[in-house]
Copies of this chain bind each other. A is one copy, B any other.
């Protein structure tokens, strides 16, 4: 198994609301208005929005509700960029559950949840390289 992820699918309760949230962050999709799944080309991979019940069935899991132990992160090049993206997300309807600040690991980050409760860390890690295309390179 190659060491990569192709797709992250976020199960959502209201597809139109979820799509509007990510579009309000500036994300664009080629999905049609009535499509029941929305794909975003997200860097070199794909993020999808799909009904949570359908995703649970397709994934062969029981949906107990709530958070399931997965958090996404969006890394940026400076603390100032973290502050700016957090304000964009707040304006788009995110709940900022941890305001931006210094972290125990020597970086700077905030935590927010999207309208379906999926958490994102918005972070600056001074030890990680962000390439020009936004992809991440761990230290050698």
Contacts and interface: CB of A to CB of B under 8 A. Distances in A.
Interface residue SS majority, chain A: mixed
A59 B123 CA distance: 12
A136 B71 contact: no
Given A60-B98, A121-B59, A73 B41 contact: no
Interface residues of A, number: 70
Contacts of A134: 2, 4, 6
A45 interface: yes
A131 to B, nearest CB: 8
Given A44-B136, A59-B71, A70-B118, 5 more contacts: A5-B72, A60-B97, A67-B68, A69-B116, A70-B70
